[in-house]
Structure 1
Amino acid sequence: MADSRNLRVLHAAEDFAAAVMLTSRSIDAARAPGLRGQLVRAAAAVPANIAEAAHLGTDPNFRRQLRLALASANESNSHLRILMRTGALEPVEGLRCMGKGAVVCRMLVRLIRAIDEREARGADNRME
C-alpha cells in the first residue's frame, strides 16, 4: 500500500484540519453550543483516516478508510455552513476552510475512483 508521507491528499487534508482548528478559535460557542468540538473532531478525522488507509494493505480496506475520510470532510463542511448561518463564524473564515475541504473531497473522490477502476481492470483480466 502507499506510504502515507507520499500521499498529496494527506498533506491537503492536514492543511484543511489545521485551518479548521485555527479558525475554530474564533467561533462564538454561545451561538452554536457543542458544534465547535464536533467540527474540530470531524476535521481531524480526515487526515487520520487517510494515514490509516495508507497502511491497511488491501484495496478494499484502503477504499473503505478513504470513504470514511470523505465522510468526515463532508461533515466538517456541513458544520462550517451551519456555523456561518448562525453567525457563530465569519463567512470569510468559513469559506476559506470550506475551499480547502472541497479540494480534499475532490482528491479523495479521484483516488477512490482510481482504486475502483484498478480493481475492475483486475477483475476483467482474471475473467479472460
Structure 2
Amino acid sequence: MVINLLDYLRKTLQITDENAILDLADEDGNLQNLPDQHPRRNAARLVQPKITYIPILIERNEDGTPKPYTPMVKRMRKDQDFMKQLQIQYERRERIRRPGRSRQDSVKDRGHLSRQANARKSATALKKGQIRKPTK
C-alpha cells in the first residue's frame, strides 16, 4: 500500500517533520505523485521493478506553499537534467494549485476546461457537417 511505502521511506530516511511530504522520482526526474494517490492503493502498481527511484522531500513554507523539491540522494542534486525536470513539475503543480486552492478545486477547474474543449469540438464538427443538428 502507498501509505506503507511512504512510512517506510520516512523511517529509512529519518524524516521526523510530520509536515514534510515524500515522493519518488525516476532517474529522469519524473515524479510518481505518491501523495496524490489513495493511501490504500497497491504501491506495486505505481512503481515498476528494475527502475531506480530517488526519494524526493517536499517541504512547505510557513504560508503552506511548497518549497522547491529536494532529492534525498545528494549526487542527484548535481544532475542538471534531473533538477530541471523536477523544477518543471514543481512549477506545473504550482500553476495548477494556486495558494488558497485545494486539490479538489484544481480538479474541478480541469473538468470545467475539458467540458469547454468538448463543446468547442462539437461546435466545430457541427459547422463542418460531421454531425447533424438535432431536429425538434
Same fold by TM-score greater than 0.5: no
Q: Normalising by structure 2, report the TM-score.
A: 0.27
Bigger Cα Rg: 2
- When normalised by structure 1's length, the TM-score is 0.28
> Which structure exhibits the higher relative contact order, with contacts defined as CA atoms closer than 8 Å and separated by 6 or more residues?
1
